[in-house]
Structures are given as structure tokens and as C-alpha cells.
């Protein structure tokens, strides 16, 4: 397994990024992995390494690079409930400033960079994301139907993509936290996906709270993380 830190040229500067990929063979299918709002940190690097171990080139960009390089926020080793108010007081202005226009400009740059890496094959890529990163992944897939063949988003506010959902052509998996989405809201979202003719799975992971994939938070649920891999890996294997 190889890992590296990279600089991605964008319309607004340089975005630092983490990449993990197999050390032999290749070229490999590319995966653009958007982090949650807390950004690139050990748990995201570990998840990128685990995914890369299945034969993928995984690129994790610092989506808040306009504020500064990783780490944009100084975080405790474990993000407990007592630390969250102070962290979110600094994080929410960054999320609110990250407009759809910025998201799409950056997505252009990230995909251009990913698909021109010598370690990445010429076929379609996948996009995945966590929390706010899942919304960014959804908007990226909708804006690049010719490049993105698979989309996965976990504990993500994908409903906020609105009309973009109708533009999806990728195969999709949405894994929702039980505290984020009621069964009624899930039904409404799934009817939207049905009406758009999207090939998808969309489900609430039982007993979960927002952030269930992140092992450095109180929300972490090991069983839900395993389910996340059980859904993600076949999706990528079948579509990239």
C-alpha cells in the first residue's frame, strides 16, 4: 500500500489531498472520497487505505482548502460530545461558505486530477462521501454523468441536492442514519429516485446516529461500519 500527499490545482488555488493506492499492479479504478465536515484526519486516512486495499486509487481532498491546509481545524483525538459545540462554532461558517458553485468548480478540478493520474485507469470512476461530503459526492456525480459510474453517500443530507437528484445516472447507494431520516422522509426520497429512473439502494441503517462510520466520534457504530463496507465494495466492484 502506498500513500501520498498531493496538491490539486483548482480554479481558486491549490487543494491539498491524501491519496492511497496499491503498490503494485494497475492502473486502478479511481475513487474520489469526500470527507465529513471534520476533514482529513487519521480515521479518513485509514478508511482510504482500507478501500485502496481492495484495488482502488482513493483520493481524499481537503474541501476547505480556501481556509488553509490540513488540518483546517485542530481536533482532539476523540471528538466527544463535550468538544462538539466549540468545533461546530468554527466549522459551520466554512460549510455555509462552501456554496454549490464552489462545490462544482472544485469537483471539476478533483475529477480532472484523479482521472489523469498515471495510477488510475481510463474507465469510469466512483464518488463516495460522508456527512456533508456525501452531499458533495451527490452533486459531483450529478454534474459529471459521463465520468461517475457509482455514487455512495453515508449519513449525508442528500435530500438537499434537490433537482440534482434527477440528473444522476450513476448507480447509487445512500446509507442513512436513523436519527437523520424518518421512514416517511426516506419514502419521499426514494420516490424521487424512482421517478428519476435511478438504479439505487437507499436505506436507514438500524439503530444508528449521525456519523456512524467515524470511529473517532461518539456516534461510531462498528456494525454499521461493516454494513457500509458490505454495501460500498460490491457497488464499486460492479460499476468501475
Cα gap 80→145, rounded to integer Å: 38
Cβ distance 61 to 8 under 8 Å? yes
**Span 65-85, pLDDT tens digits:** 999 999 999 999 999 999 999
**Span 165-182, pLDDT tens digits:** 999 999 999 999 999 999
The overall average pLDDT reported for the chain is 97
pTM of the model: 0.97
The pLDDT value given to residue 197: 96
CA 233 vs CA 55, 67, 75, 227: distances in Å: 10, 33, 29, 10
Q: What is the DSSP letter of 155?
A: S
Whether the predicted pLDDT of 26 surpasses 90: no
The pLDDT value given to residue 54: 97
C-alpha cell read off for 199: 438504479
The pLDDT value given to residue 46: 98
For residue 161, name the pLDDT band (cuts at 50, 70, 90).
very high
Cβ distance 235 to 127 under 8 Å? no
Handedness of CA 215, 218, 223, 226 (dihedral sign): negative
Return the closest-CA partner of residue 130 out of 111, 107, 153.
153
**Span 91-142, pLDDT tens digits:** 999 999 999 999 999 999 999 999 999 999 998 999 999 999 999 999 999 9
Average pLDDT (194-223) is 97
Phi, psi (degrees; rounded to nearest 5) at 185: -65, -35
Average pLDDT (220-225) is 98
For residue 12, name the pLDDT band (cuts at 50, 70, 90).
very high
How many residues does the structure list for the chain?
Answer: 240
C-alpha cell read off for 224: 454499521
Assign 237 to helix, strand or coil: helix
Return the closest-CA partner of residue 157 out of 135, 141, 188, 182.
135
Amino acid at each position: 500500500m502506498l500513500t501520498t500527499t498531493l496538491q490539486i490545482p483548482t480554479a481558486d488555488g491549490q487543494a491539498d489531498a491524501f491519496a492511497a493506492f496499491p503498490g503494485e499492479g494497475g492502473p486502478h479504478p479511481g475513487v474520489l472520497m469526500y470527507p465529513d465536515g471534520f476533514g482529513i484526519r487519521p480515521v479518513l486516512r485509514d478508511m482510504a487505505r482500507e478501500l485502496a486495499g481492495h484495488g482502488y486509487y482513493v483520493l481524499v481532498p481537503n474541501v476547505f482548502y480556501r481556509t488553509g491546509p490540513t488540518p483546517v481545524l485542530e481536533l482532539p483525538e476523540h471528538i466527544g460530545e463535550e468538544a462538539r459545540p466549540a468545533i461546530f462554532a468554527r466549522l459551520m461558517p466554512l460549510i455555509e461558505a462552501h456554496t454549490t458553485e464552489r462545490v462544482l468548480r472544485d469537483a471539476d478540478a478533483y475529477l480532472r486530477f484523479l482521472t489523469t493520474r498515471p495510477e488510475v485507469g481510463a474507465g469510469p470512476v466512483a464518488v463516495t462521501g460522508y456527512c456533508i461530503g456525501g452531499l458533495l459526492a451527490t452533486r459531483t456525480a450529478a454534474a459529471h454523468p459521463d465520468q461517475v459510474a457509482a455514487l455512495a453517500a453515508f449519513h449525508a443530507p442528500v435530500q438537499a441536492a434537490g433537482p440534482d437528484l434527477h440528473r444522476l445516472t450513476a448507480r447509487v447507494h445512500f446509507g442513512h442514519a436513523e436519527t437523520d431520516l424518518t421512514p416517511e422522509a426516506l419514502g419521499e426520497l426514494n420516490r424521487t429516485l424512482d421517478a428519476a429512473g435511478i438504479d439505487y439502494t437507499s436505506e436507514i441503517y438500524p439503530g444508528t446516529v449521525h456519523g456512524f462510520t467515524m470511529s473517532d466520534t461518539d456516534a461510531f457504530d462498528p456494525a454499521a461500519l461493516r454494513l457500509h463496507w458490505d454495501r460500498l465494495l460490491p457497488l464499486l466492484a460492479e460499476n468501475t
